[in-house]
Structure 1
Amino acid sequence: MPGRSGPHRPAVPAPCRWRPPVKQAASPSSGTPDDWWRSLHKLWRAALDVQDVTAVASLVYRVLLQRPGTAVVVGARWGEQGLTYVRCARPGQDEPTTWPALSAQWPFGTHHPAVLPGAGGPQVRSHAFARPGDAALAPAGQLLARAHARWAVACLFPLADGDSAGLWVGLDHEPAGAQAQLLGDQLSQIADVLSASNRRILEARLHERRQARDAFLAEASLQMDASLDVAETLHRVARLAVPAVAEGCVVHLFGPGGLPRSVATAHVAATAQSWLAQVAHDDAWLRAQLQRGAEHPEVRTLRDADLAGGPFGPDAAGQGATVRALSITPLRARGRTLGTLTFLYGGDDTGLTDQRMLADLSGRAALAIDTTTLYEQRRRHVQLLQKHLLPRALPAAPGLELSAAYDVGDTSLDVGGDFYDAVAAKDRVVLFIGDVCGRGAEAAAFTGLARHTLRTLLEDGMAPAPALSRLNRALTGEGASRFVTALVVVLTPAADGWDAEIAGAGHPWPLVRRADGRVEQIPAPGMLLGVVPETAYEPTRIRLAAGDSVVMFTDGLTEARSADGTHFEEHLPAAVAQYAARGESPAARLAAAASAFRTSGDDDTAVLIASVKGQP
């Protein structure tokens, strides 16, 4: 009787194809028709509930053994690899007995001659039992002989593709009249029950496998999408697959010239990690297989003789001898082949049977790898562009210490609009800082325009207020769709310090830290740039003494927020008093303090500080 479900949906008649027995009076050898229908109904109910067809099979033995004159009931099952088992039950037994010796006698690859591909539904035979070696009764002949059966009725039927079963009922006498036909009809009805039960179990298991596959793929996608770091994503791909899919996993990416480069490995055995990494890195045989696998449209599998000459398979040495199969799947995303995903299987290579899952996993992995690679490229491009929007270095200014810092707050990798610069020209030092509304390419274009325009005007000796007016006209003349804020400070040496001329255009007002630690805010009112043409700006003048510092910044510094919603602006005077004094990188220390304070707020931060040397 069947004990395991086959791998695929059976080609059997529908469960409702019952064939009622020939109408006749009840006899001692058959029981009443009502008894049979009740038993058959019980079998159908059991078939709808069990998780394994073996549970129905046990009930089948009990039903058939209740027939008067039954000497023995034999059941067998065989698949593509040969006979799976033979079971036998005689009157008085609660459960059938398995006969492994008979299973061993049946050659592998041998199928019962009566059950051939495309044979259709149940096939019933009934004849006198003559000898154990009767081919039509194999492999039940020996058990029928041991039970002294005089007559045998056999029913052979398919359960699924490559999976068949048989039932033999041995009687202790020759059946009278139509009793043999009646028993054959009943065996055919039982075959329908078992086939339908097996089909339901197969469908349920297929559904469970699909659910498990979908859950695994969903979790894999979440894990791979959780990082935008290329190296971390590659290692996540390898770790996710072991041991969920196979015992080992290797990820290769194609470098210049199409050569595969090992980027991540994982193995279920810790002792095999270094071995697998070495093989993945420099084995010529594997490299050739990967290049062939990359050209294959689907999953390429290697077993047995395919592994000859390589580091895997039973003929290999060391850890490679445990590998019985490989699967190589190309990593393709957005029309490009990025590399390969290789799985290593040990004695149980059942993971190879779900090639759809392997292809789906490799597709998701390829997309995640390509996304992180593109993200990394974009990050480098943005960094390069941002670098060109800021000065390479601050100029040397005798009598002053200049310090600047830039902190990127937006993880979207769009170019920010913050800028700063410093110019040491003739008898003065010019500092300016600004912010273009928004991010991205357009903001970067206006950032470059604003910075270079201001620098040119101030290098030519223009005062802060007129320079802002000229920049405003330039922006409005360009039909600017974004407004710009800016703050300009011109420092001129004086007998007892530096004179500071300050002009602002909608920008946060600067702070001055005095030598004694006091912090003052310097008013620098003015209209935003690029909004109203012919706007005039008014300067403010102050004196900076030895030990004083002027602190300029963009609004990313003040708008940094803590978890409780507090803005860093409330802590800014204290932070300036602590960090803006002369010393090593005061601008960087102030920006770092805001970054440590921030839990929300993604605007970039620029800080520019000029400190007067000497003692007060």
Structure 2
Amino acid sequence: VDASADTEVVARRVAQAVDVIVACHTGILQRGREARRGADDALLAEASLQMDSSLDVEDTLRRVARIAVPAVADGCLVHLLRKDGPEFVAATHVAVQQQRALEAAGRDDPWLAALLAQRDDGDQALFLSGAALEGSPFAGPGPAGGGRHPTVVSVSTLHARGRVVGSITFVYQRPEDRLPDSAFLDSLATRAALAIDNALLYELRRHAVLSLQEHLLPSQLPAAAGWDLSASYEVGDPMLDVGGDFYDAVPRPDGSIALLIGDVCGRGAEAAALTGLARHTLRTLLEEGTDPGTALSRLNRALRQEGASRFLTAVVVTMAPRADGTVLLTTCSAGHPRPLVLRADGSISEVVSGGLLLGILDDVSYESHEDFLAPGDTLVLFTDGLTESREADGTYFESVLPGRLAALRGSDAAQVAESLARQARIFRASGQDDIALLVARWNGITPSDGLLPLETLLEQAALR
């Protein structure tokens, strides 16, 4: 500006230019903050979607680590809080070699273990850098060291529903302006904690359901000469509570064996109580030698006396070896799916049976039907969870069951039970009912085994 210039005018114009520059800079910063906030919100929404899509604990933890790297940080460690302290469960890093070192630090490093043990439910995200990282695995050439930017570490406590479930540790090796703020990390930690806690609660519930289900079923099936017995139980969905399917195999005083299988309507505590009542009532009666029809009638009477609000189906089959090497089947059903027989030649036959559901009417009698097994034949009892498994096109497994069973000709009882349960599980696109199978294969018996019923031995002696 020379001497002829109007300094006041120049000053005003310079001030105006400065105002424009400041306004532009402010606008750029504001738009940058808005863009950053929008990106953070999008990341949080995607993180919630990804983490909530699984109820498997390990899968959820891996998702937490994968979502954070590299969008949030260069490395990530996830720990669960156990009774004896933090437990390392997942880690990831943008560099494979550094990931291995990061995993080792997460498992065994005393500095990190001491740091995590000091965190509590009220802590916000803690940032550490420089001298604060001395003695840590992140100082110098540690898991995230050796780069162009100083290493920064943040630790966020994972707390959900009033309790600490773990912690998430982020490792940064990037410019300071690219570090996330505490509010974002706290929000991400809250979402991760809820997802992990949901997965943990699901796992606890699943374990409780499976444990209770196991106690409602026999711990093992009896061993009997000439017989190959096996069973399979597939829980449809543990989150739906305890199912009402049950089965048992009962040795009888005359040397025969009684098979029973049933299905209580519904799920939950009441269904579990009726399941226990039905199985133990039938087992006690059959052990005493009660015939199948009478056993079902007495169970029906007990259900009516107890005022049970649910009905159930059941089928009882007694299997008595005969002198000619065959087995007499006496079957009595209370509205249950008919058992199938896989003959030694691969043909399939249906065991005739039918009767009213249990727990509906008073004073119901049940009719018995007789059939037979020859050596090499296999009897298959099942609940409707098997036949009602349905494909996406609406096809029921019931329509393909005979063919699938025939293909198992020559298989032992365990192979038949496990294969049919597995095939039904793969087959179904809908349906959450439990699947129970009880399989008995008759291999034949000789008098030298010494385990034939007394009546059969006398009959064989008379024939000789």
TM-score, structure 1 as length reference? 0.67
Output the amino acid matched with 1:202. L
- Do the aligned partners of residues 262 and 223 (structure 1) sit closer, same or farther apart at CA in structure 2, a change above 3 Å counting? same
From 310, 316, 320, give the equivalent of 1:482: 310
In the alignment, structure 1 residue 303 sits paired with structure 2 residue 129 = yes
Map of 1:271 onto structure 2: 97
Map of 1:418 onto structure 2: 245
Corresponding residue SS for 1:237: helix
- 1:128-154 CA distances to partner (integer Å, 9 max, x unpaired)? xxxxxxxxxxxxxxxxxxxxxxxxxxx
What's the CA shift for 1:319? 5.1
Aligned residues: 440
From 379, 388, 394, give the equivalent of 2:206: 379
Contact 1:324 1:349 (C-alpha < 8 Å) held by counterparts: no
Map of 2:279 onto structure 1: 451
- 1:236-294 CA distances to partner (integer Å, 9 max, x unpaired)? 2112111111111111222224x222221111111212211222222222222223344
From 352, 372, 375, give the equivalent of 1:543: 372
Map of 1:238 onto structure 2: 65
From 437, 443, 457, give the equivalent of 1:613: 443
Corresponding residue SS for 2:158: strand
What's the CA shift for 1:317? 6.1
TM-score, structure 2 as length reference? 0.88
- 1:35-55 CA distances to partner (integer Å, 9 max, x unpaired)? xxxxxxxxxxxxxxxxxxxxx
Contact 1:547 1:582 (C-alpha < 8 Å) held by counterparts: no
Corresponding residue SS for 2:294: helix
Contact 1:312 1:321 (C-alpha < 8 Å) held by counterparts: no
Map of 1:429 onto structure 2: 257
Alpha-carbon RMSD: 2.2
From 387, 391, 402, give the equivalent of 2:229: 402
> What is the rounded CA distance, in whole Å, between the counterparts of 2:317 and 2:409 in structure 1?
17
In the alignment, structure 1 residue 216 sits paired with structure 2 residue 32 = no
Output the amino acid matched with 1:255. R
- Do the aligned partners of residues 253 and 220 (structure 1) sit closer, same or farther apart at CA in structure 2, a change above 3 Å counting? same
> What is the rounded CA distance, in whole Å, between the counterparts of 2:424 and 2:121 in structure 1?
52
What's the CA shift for 1:592? 2.6
- Do the aligned partners of residues 593 and 328 (structure 1) sit closer, same or farther apart at CA in structure 2, a change above 3 Å counting? closer
What's the CA shift for 1:364? 1.0
Output the amino acid matched with 1:348. P
Moved more, 268-277 or 279-288: 279-288
Output the amino acid matched with 2:54. S
- Do the aligned partners of residues 331 and 460 (structure 1) sit closer, same or farther apart at CA in structure 2, a change above 3 Å counting? same
Moved more, 190-199 or 484-493: 190-199
Question: Which is higher, the Rg of structure 1 or of structure 2?
Answer: 1
List aligned pairs for 1:353-372, cutoff 5 A. 353-372=180-199
List aligned pairs for 1:1-150, cutoff 5 A. none
Corresponding residue SS for 2:132: helix
List aligned pairs for 1:591-602, cutoff 5 A. 591-602=421-432
Map of 1:469 onto structure 2: 297
What's the CA shift for 1:564? 2.5
Q: Higher helix fraction: Structure 1 or Structure 2?
A: 2
| Unaligned runs of at least 5 residues, structure 1 | 1-170
Map of 2:156 onto structure 1: 329
Map of 1:70 onto structure 2: none
Contact 1:581 1:611 (C-alpha < 8 Å) held by counterparts: no
In the alignment, structure 1 residue 552 sits paired with structure 2 residue 381 = yes
| Unaligned runs of at least 5 residues, structure 2 | 446-464
The structure with higher relative contact order (CA 8 Å, sep 6+) is: 2
> What is the rounded CA distance, in whole Å, between the counterparts of 2:421 and 2:366 in structure 1?
29
Contact 1:246 1:351 (C-alpha < 8 Å) held by counterparts: no
In the alignment, structure 1 residue 523 sits paired with structure 2 residue 347 = no
- Do the aligned partners of residues 267 and 614 (structure 1) sit closer, same or farther apart at CA in structure 2, a change above 3 Å counting? same
